Structure 1
Amino acid sequence: MTDRLSAYAPQALAVLRIVAALLFVLHGTQKLLGFPAAEFAPPVFSIFWFAAIIEIVTGVLIGVGFFTRAAAFIASGTMAVAYWMVHAPGNLFPTNNGGDAAILFCFLFLFLVFAGPGRWAVNEK
């Protein structure tokens, strides 16, 4: 049974990559474009504005599987910075400070740095 499931690991990795990238892009579009509905619009060239740009660009690259490892490395670092600069100062516990998504994105993208994109990637290898 395990061998049969393991045969689909590259496809499962690709689905994880694509879904995570779509969610990541939504975080960027929420900040930058107000879609889906956002509570605030960051001023141009502010740290939140740059974060939105990084989220959209790296999210698209990761989603299509183009320079996945490099994009995932940048996205992972961005989420680490987001957690420690924005979420952790309010409360160290992610469930209390709203930083659970940032931590999950950080480690998921860090995993992609080492695992690669899986199947269905523009520059698959």
Structure 2
Amino acid sequence: MQTSTNDTFAIWAPRAQAVMRIVIAYVFLQHGTAKFFDIPSLGMQGIQLFSLMGLAGVLEIGGGLLMILGLFTRPVAFILCGFTAVAYFMAHAPKAFLSPLQNGGEPAVLYCFVFLFFAVAGAGAFSIDASRGKA
């Protein structure tokens, strides 16, 4: 019996979604570990926990870990979407509002919309949410 292309995509889409979730969350998590632990070393030592950068680090580490695990994916992704939008408007937009490439805000915009996708689509396969029937 032959499988159609649509069947193949239906089988692999949640898996590809999970791989994207895990990779994006791992890279996002590194923003927080760089802030608090200087891993990877970016010279960001001395970030105060009770500051905007400290809050950013907490969201990046906590949200990144939850996204990697696929736990509470939709609400976490929604919060991270808002966080990265605020980061864009606070840190990057004043430099050149409509040009993320010029103002250094391209990663914030990309993270914002990737997290928006996960807020709507869920975790995909290989997640705690999927094992709980919440994906």
Shorter-chain-normalised TM-score: which range?
over 0.9
Over the aligned positions, Cα root-mean-square deviation in angstroms equals 1.3
Aligned to 2:17, the other structure's residue is in SS state helix
Separation in structure 2 between the aligned mates of residue 123 and residue 51 of structure 1, nearest angstrom = 24
Residue 44 of structure 2 corresponds to 40
2:36 paired with 1:28: no
Separation in structure 2 between the aligned mates of residue 10 and residue 44 of structure 1, nearest angstrom = 36
Separation in structure 2 between the aligned mates of residue 114 and residue 55 of structure 1, nearest angstrom = 20
Q: CA deviation at 1:53?
A: 0.4
2:121 paired with 1:115: yes
Separation in structure 2 between the aligned mates of residue 68 and residue 122 of structure 1, nearest angstrom = 9
Gaps of 5+ in 1: none
Contact in 1 for aligned 2:36/2:44 (Cα 8 Å): no
Separation in structure 1 between the aligned mates of residue 44 and residue 65 of structure 2, nearest angstrom = 23
Return the letter of the residue paired with 2:29: V
Residue 101 of structure 2 corresponds to 95
Return the letter of the residue paired with 1:73: F
Aligned to 2:19, the other structure's residue is in SS state helix
Percent of aligned positions that are identical = 42
Return the letter of the residue paired with 1:25: L
Residue 111 of structure 2 corresponds to 105
Separation in structure 2 between the aligned mates of residue 52 and residue 68 of structure 1, nearest angstrom = 18
TM-score by length of 2: 0.87
Gaps of 5+ in 2: none
Instruction: Identify which of 52, 63, 72 aligns with 2:57.
Output: 52
Separation in structure 2 between the aligned mates of residue 108 and residue 20 of structure 1, nearest angstrom = 8
Contact in 1 for aligned 2:88/2:108 (Cα 8 Å): yes
Separation in structure 2 between the aligned mates of residue 73 and residue 58 of structure 1, nearest angstrom = 10
Indicate the structure whose relative CO is greater, using CA pairs within 8 Å and at least 6 residues apart.
1
